[in-house]
Amino acid sequence: MRAEVKGIFSTDVGDLKHFVPKEHDFGILIRVMVGPEGMDGEESFDITVCTPEWFRQQYELSDVVVARHHLIVFEYDYDRIVNKIKSIIERCEGSSWNEVAEKVARYGYWEFEDYTEGMEMARMMCKCGETLSTVQVPNEIELFVYTDFEMDEINAMEINDPLDIPDPEREVWRCPHCERIYVFDGNKVIRTYVLEEDEEGENGGK
């Protein structure tokens, strides 16, 4: 899987293509929408495009700065900036969207960057391109699926507080867009189920 730039705009500037900085030294935020190549779905990555002097003016001389998520330029040239962004981002690839996004996040601040630490399976991209996230609680993604045997065991526990109900053996997610079902063993998808509609008249369908 490879990254593809789906769009570029700025929250600071209305028209990037025709933007003319008021001063030679400038800094603007550029938001790059990136998703898997040839698939629907995209997520945002923010890059500060600035001149060296503008960057220096943001800090004290005594500061020591790790300049992540910055693109340093010596003049504003829309085409060169966009081409550079595309060239560095679209070479990012991996076996899953999470792996690709983590590589893209080296260059731009990922909208989900703060969620990944300690929450490896808090989000993923469905095969249809929809971003699935269980970061917010409650959500419509995660399903709690129990067998009859598991429910009998839970009922026998005489639990009064719902928070004491044990989690199911497997974590199950459902995509609200295509209705795919993903079954996890830890952080690994072990089963994927795709919705099939019955043909007309089959199994009692009308």
Yes or no: say if 181 and 172 are a contact pair by the CB < 8 Å rule: yes
| pLDDT by residue, tens only, the chain of 206 residues | 899 999 999 988 889 999 999 889 999 999 999 988 888 888 889 999 999 999 999 888 888 988 889 999 999 999 999 999 999 999 999 888 888 888 999 999 887 766 544 444 567 778 787 888 777 767 889 898 998 888 888 888 888 777 788 888 888 999 998 899 999 887 778 889 998 776 665 555 44
Partners of 188 in the β-ladder = 185
CA distance 72 to 51: 5
Q: Could you state, in order of their start, the residue ranges of all structural domains in the chain?
A: 3-117, 142-204
